[in-house]
Amino acid sequence: RFQEAVEDYSRSLDISPENIKTHNNRGYSFAKLGKYKEAISDYDRVISMDPKNAHAFHNRGISFDKLGEFEKAVVDFTRVIELDDTNANVFFNRGSAYDSLGEFDKAIADYTHALELDMASGAVTQQR
């Protein structure tokens, strides 16, 4: 299903190469296929066209995290927080990246903040 989506989005981009939504959606489809480098390329394109696109920064951060590039993930998650500091998932994801880097105090601070933003998140409670 996601492979078909990538093919459809690619055809669409042949017609309209500057379509931000299509790049973002193709990037998401690549990520679901485990093709994180390709996803990052699409998110890079989105960010170059819309430098305040928090969704693209968040998804690119997740892709960096999946590739083990935790420092880059932290940078992207921090950028999302600068754009919108109300998203518990971003704090959780940045906390996870900090955890992977061995920066446990920062990880706990982010997990705690994520929990404060979304008290219903069992994943945050478990990780903390």
> Measured between alpha carbons, how far is 56 from 63 in angstroms, rounded to an integer?
10
Quick check: helix, strand or coil at residue 119? coil
pLDDT of residue 118: 82
For residue range 9-35, list pLDDT tens digits in order: 999 999 999 999 999 999 999 999 999
Give residue-wise pLDDT tens across range 58-85. Answer: 999 999 999 999 999 999 999 999 999 9
* Tens-digit pLDDT profile for residues 94-124: 999 999 999 999 999 999 999 998 876 555 5
pLDDT at res. 18:
94
Q: Please indicate, yes or no, whether the overall pTM of this predicted structure exceeds 0.75.
A: yes
Region for residue 118 given its phi and psi (left: phi exceeds 0; alpha: psi -120 to 50; beta: otherwise): beta
